[in-house]
Amino acid sequence: MEWFEKSKELNDYYVNEWGKVIKNDDQLFEALTLESLQAGLSWEIVLKKRDAFRKAFYDFNINPII
């Protein structure tokens, strides 16, 4: 079993996002934030909590921060 086949979240991430270039500022902000939140956690846990993180970070809208 490949690492991305362990859960729906990992598989969706692998199929739709893994290795793709990010050109949108909000998507880049989301990726950087999730990567930093991953420290000490598994990537699967972070992806499962992604909706909660989107709510907490206002859908990763970068404009209020700039």
Q: For residue 66, is it within any domain?
A: no
Mark whether 9 is an active-site residue: no
CA distances from 48 to 7, 35, 41, 65 (A): 9, 14, 11, 25
pTM for the full model? 0.81
Q: How confident is the model at residue 34 (pLDDT cuts 50, 70, 90)?
A: very high
The active-site residue out of 5, 35, 44, 58 is 35
- Is the pLDDT confidence value at 22 over 70? yes
Is 13 a residue of the active site?
Answer: yes
65 found inside a domain: no
pLDDT for 66 beyond 70 = no
Structure confidence at residue 33 (pLDDT): 93
Q: How confident is the model at residue 64 (pLDDT cuts 50, 70, 90)?
A: confident
Q: How many domains does the chain have?
A: 1
pLDDT of amino acid 30: 95
Give me the domain span that covers residue 43: 7-60
Q: What is the pLDDT of residue 9?
A: 95
Radius of gyration of the chain (CA): 12
